[in-house]
A and B are shown apart, each in its own frame.
Chain A
Amino acid sequence: DFVMTQSPDSLAVSLGERATINCKSSQSVLYSSNNNNYLAWYQQKPGQPPKLLIYWASIRASGVPDRFSGSGSGTDFTLTISSLQAEDVAVYYCQQYINTPITFGQGTRLEIK
């Protein structure tokens, strides 16, 4: 199975500052035939279902603000929030979907400092 490990487990950032969350896969999620990384990022707020932010490692989903960006390839990935807003307080998950079982990282809790 692909093991997804996020760091840190929790993070406190001041409003307007940059937040960075890392995700490492135990195996490459890059599919050579189409050069796509099968890596997505989700945001989950209390009492709500998860929301897709980023897919193919760096493509923002429909309606996602451009302060959210994804980068990386192969086994190492990063989600960056360029200027933290109060509404960004949530738990963030990375996910690989190149192979079953589809697996998620353990989650990173983002709070306001």
Chain B
Amino acid sequence: DVQLAESGGGLVQPGGSLRLACVASRFSFSNCWMHWVRRAPGKGLVWLSGINADGSRTNYADAVKGRFTISRDNAKNTLYLQMNSLRAEDTAVYHCVAFGGNSNDAFDIWGQGTMVSVSS
């Protein structure tokens, strides 16, 4: 089966940093737009950022612009999210998502997610 597997979550103090990674397998990662989406406890889904297939274009939600950086390494089939200046409101499960990785024109492959907790 096609798969995305996130890592790098954990507990961090406010103002701290974390780098999430997401490894793709069994689909054409280098041909897909990739995204990060989060879900805070008791809340809904929020899109954070996207990056095009070759990494030359990125988009960000206002809530994370200037603090988070999305990047990718197609040789390693890996997507990254560098998160700086973390706040309590960044506490959430973070999912990496592929657009069209399974031939459906939407967010059709989701990772299980990695939990990020921001607290002192």
B-contact bits for A3-21, CB 8 A (1 contact / 0 none): 0000000000000000000
Please, which residues of chain A bring their CB within 8 A of the CB of B120?
none
Report if A55 contacts B (CB, 8 A).
yes
Contacts of B59 in A (CB 8 A): 100-101
User: Which residues on the B side are within 8 Å of A56 (C-beta)?
Assistant: 105-106
Complex contacts, A51 vs chain B, CB 8 Å: 110
Q: Chain B binding site: helix, strand, loop or mixed by DSSP?
A: strand
Interface residues on chain B, size class: 20 to 34
Q: Which of A22-30, A75-83, A104-112 contacts B (4 or more CB under 8 A)?
A: A104-112
Contact A50 B50 (CB under 8 A): no
CB distance from B109 to the nearest CB of A (A): 9
Residues of B within 8 A of A (CB): 35, 37, 44-47, 50, 59-62, 95, 99, 102-108, 110-113
Chain A residues within 8 Å of B, Cβ to Cβ? 40, 42, 44, 48-52, 55-56, 59, 61-62, 91, 93, 95, 97, 100-107
The 8 closest A-B pairs by CB, nearest first: A55-B106, A49-B110, A40-B106, A102-B47, A100-B59, A104-B45, A107-B44, A61-B104
